[in-house]
Amino acid sequence: NPLALDVNFNLECKPGFDIGTKSIYTSGIVFPGQPHTLVIKAGDMTNFYNLNCSNGVSGNLIVTVNGPVTFQGVTPGSLTPTISGNQYSYSIGNFGTVNPNLDFRLDFLTDTTAIAGNSICVSAVVTPTAGDNSTANNNFSTCIPVVNSYDPNNKIVYPGVVSPGFTDYITYTINFQNTGNAPAFNIRLEDTLSPFL
């Protein structure tokens, strides 16, 4: 008492730096035939707290992606990596200029042959380690599961047997249920009735 507002604290970077990877996740679901963006939040770890303690530090970020996906390009506004197979390499001249929230975004298309239970596994390795105050965050790996719908359905009719000349209604019921672990896309139910009806 009294409550003090708008107090500014002066912060200084300690000697050394801390570059690393904070998280890897997807924007969009990893679903067969659907696109998604792989987001790697990496760079100057102090930048996540509105500081810039790695200014002038150069190095590399190497992202390796394994699983049933096809690379589509980089998200507009992101940095462009050098690509060799399933490896995406970024050569960083100055980590102080990197936006760790936006610069490392890769667009992929999940293969149509992917099934629920498959995974997209991603690793990110940041260098250098000499002078890095915390090397524990220089290697980050995660696997993201493929999700898919599973759509069993059937058709029943009542009455099931009728005599020739039947003039009442025949009632068809189509049962549809998604028992998968993701939404179903582009669902089309078609039924062709007999020309004898």
DSSP per-residue codes, 131-152: TBS-GGGSEEEEEEE-------
Calculate the average pLDDT of the chain. Answer: 90
Phi first, then psi: what are they for 96, rounded to 5°?
A: -65, -20
pLDDT, tens only, 105-163: 999 999 999 998 899 999 999 998 888 999 999 999 999 999 988 777 788 888 888 88
- In this structure, are residues 115 and 106 in contact, taking their beta carbons and an 8 Å threshold? no
DSSP state of 168: S
Tokens 């965050």 found at = 137
Tell me the CA end-to-end span of the chain in Å, nearest whole number. Answer: 86
Query: How far apart, in whole angstroms, are the C-alpha atoms of residue 19 and residue 47?
Result: 9
- In this structure, are residues 79 and 103 in contact, taking their beta carbons and an 8 Å threshold? yes
pLDDT, tens only, 76-113: 999 999 999 999 999 999 999 999 999 999 999 999 99
Structure tokens at 165: 């000349």
Query: How far apart, in whole angstroms, are the C-alpha atoms of residue 119 and residue 41?
Result: 20
> How buried is 70 (Cβ within 10 angstroms: 0-12 exposed, 13-18 middle, 19+ buried)?
exposed
DSSP state of 76: T
- Report the length, in residues, of the chain: 197
Query: pTM of the entire structure?
Result: 0.77
Q: Across residues 35-54, what is the average pLDDT? A: 92
